[in-house]
Every structure is written in C-alpha cells, then in structure tokens.
C-alpha cells in the first residue's frame, strides 16, 4: 500500500522532503505529544468558535443598520417625490 503522504503527492521528511508542519505527526509521536497537539487544536477550535460568534453578531448588527438606512432612503425619496410633485402642480407642469 502507498502511504497517504505519497498518495497525496507529498514527500515525507525521511525522503528529504519539507519539514513537518506543526499540525502533522511523525511515526514516532508519543501519546504525550499527541495529547498536547490535540489540546492545541481544541484551543484553536475554541478561539475560532468565539471569533465566528463575534462575526455573526457583527453581521447581524450590520444587517440591521442596512435595513434602517434603506428605510431612511425610502422615506427621503417619498418626501422628495412629494415635494417634486407639489412644485410641478404649483408651476402648472
């Protein structure tokens, strides 16, 4: 069987390829190292979840602000249209 790294077209460090990334595992990884990496990944995921919630809140606030601005524009357009129609009537247009 072909190793997953070779199947993906990647070279393993033993073959002189690029060094391991911080998230990759070598064949001699101890359970302590695995646990440390797992905890690091959990911390990263937790931070990403917090950031996603913050972004969702920001998006929600932006959508509300957009809706309010659109309503203000509609109201100003109505007022301009009404004023324009009134001016035309006074001038006989």
Give the pLDDT band of residue 34 (cuts 50, 70, 90): very high
Residue 38 covered by a domain:
yes
Residue 54 covered by a domain:
yes
Residue range 35-86, pLDDT digits in tens: 999 999 999 999 999 999 999 999 999 999 999 999 999 999 999 999 888 7
The predicted pLDDT at position 85 comes to 83
Residue 47 covered by a domain:
yes
Specify the number of domains making up the chain. Answer: 1
Residue 5: exposed, middle, or buried by beta-carbon count in 10 A (0-12, 13-18, 19+)? middle
The predicted pLDDT at position 87 comes to 74
The predicted pLDDT at position 86 comes to 77
Residue 80 covered by a domain:
yes
Structural domain for 71, as ranges: 30-92
**Rounded-to-integer distance, Cα 20 and Cα 81, Å:** 67
Q: For residue 28, is pLDDT > 60?
A: yes
The predicted pLDDT at position 17 comes to 52
Residue 15 covered by a domain:
no
């Amino acid at each position: 069987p072909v190793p997953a790294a070779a199947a993906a077209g990647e070279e393993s460090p033993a073959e002189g390829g690029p060094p391991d990334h911080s998230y990759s595992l070598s064949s001699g990884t101890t359970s302590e190292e695995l646990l440390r990496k797992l905890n690091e990944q959990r911390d990263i995921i937790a931070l990403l979840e917090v950031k996603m919630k913050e972004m969702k809140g920001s998006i929600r606030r932006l959508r509300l602000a957009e809706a309010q601005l659109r309503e203000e524009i509609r109201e100003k357009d109505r007022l301009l249209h009404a004023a324009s129609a009134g001016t035309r009537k006074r001038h006989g247009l």
